[in-house]
C-alpha cells in the first residue's frame, strides 16, 4: 500500500501537542482555587498522547515515551493512599489534609497544600487507566 503524504497533520500536531500539555498542566495546577484538578488535567494530558497516537504510529510513540501505563496507574493509586496514611502518622485522621504559606525563591509567597500530592496520584491514575484502555483496544496483538 502506498504511504500517504500527511505532512500537514504531522507538522501541526507537533505544535498543538505542546499547547495541550501546557493546558493540562494549567488545569492541574489551578485545581485548588479555580475549575480544574487532577481528573480533568489527567484526561487532557492523555488526550494529547492520544493525538500523538493518531498522528504517528503507536510503536514510535511508545518507544519515545517508555512508560508502562499499568505501572503508572498503580503508582498513582499508591501515592493517593500514601498521602492519606501520611496524615495518620502525624496523629490525625486518615486523609486529613493541611496547607501552609512558604517563601519560595522565584515564586514568592506560595500556598503549598498536601492535597496537591493527592491530586498527583489521581492524575497519574487517570492517565494510566485511560491510556491503558485506549492501547489495549487499539493494539492488534
Partner 1 sequence: MNGSIPSEFLPVLLILIGTVFSFLSAVGLIRLPDVYTRAHAASKSATLGVLFALVGTFLYFLWEEGYFSIRLFLGIFFVFLTAPVAAHVILRSAYRANVELAEQSVQDDLKEVLKKE
Q: Is 110 in the site for partner 1 (CB under 8 A)?
A: no
Nearer to partner 1, 10 or 94 (CB): 10
What are the helix (H) ranges across the chain? 7-29, 38-55, 58-64, 69-89, 115-138
Nearest approach, Cβ of 69 to partner 1 (angstroms)? 26
Q: Is 12 in the site for partner 1 (CB under 8 A)?
A: yes
Phi, psi of 109 (to 5 degrees): -75, 120
Among 21, 25, 26, 84, binds partner 1 (CB under 8 A): 26
Number of residues that bind partner 1 (CB under 8 A): 10
Q: What is the DSSP string of 35-50?
A: S--HHHHHHHHHHHHH
Nearest approach, Cβ of 63 to partner 1 (angstroms)? 25
Residues near 49 by beta carbon (within 8 Å), at least 6 away in sequence: 61, 65, 127, 131
Binding mask of the shown chain, residues 70 to 99, with x at each position contacting partner 1 by CB under 8 A: ------------------------------
Amino acid at each position: 500500500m502506498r504511504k500517504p503524504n500527511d505532512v500537514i497533520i504531522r507538522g501541526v500536531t507537533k505544535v498543538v501537542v505542546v499547547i495541550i500539555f501546557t493546558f493540562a498542566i494549567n488545569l492541574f495546577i489551578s485545581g485548588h482555587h479555580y475549575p480544574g484538578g487532577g481528573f480533568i488535567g489527567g484526561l487532557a494530558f492523555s488526550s494529547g498522547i492520544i493525538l500523538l497516537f493518531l498522528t504517528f504510529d503507536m510503536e514510535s510513540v511508545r518507544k519515545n515515551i517508555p512508560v508502562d501505563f499499568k505501572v503508572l496507574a498503580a503508582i498513582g493509586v499508591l501515592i493517593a493512599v500514601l498521602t492519606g496514611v501520611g496524615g495518620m502518622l502525624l496523629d490525625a485522621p486518615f486523609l486529613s489534609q493541611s496547607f501552609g504559606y512558604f517563601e519560595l525563591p522565584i515564586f514568592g509567597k506560595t500556598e503549598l497544600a498536601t492535597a496537591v500530592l493527592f491530586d498527583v496520584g489521581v492524575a497519574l491514575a487517570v492517565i494510566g487507566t485511560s491510556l491503558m484502555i485506549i492501547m489495549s483496544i487499539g493494539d492488534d496483538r
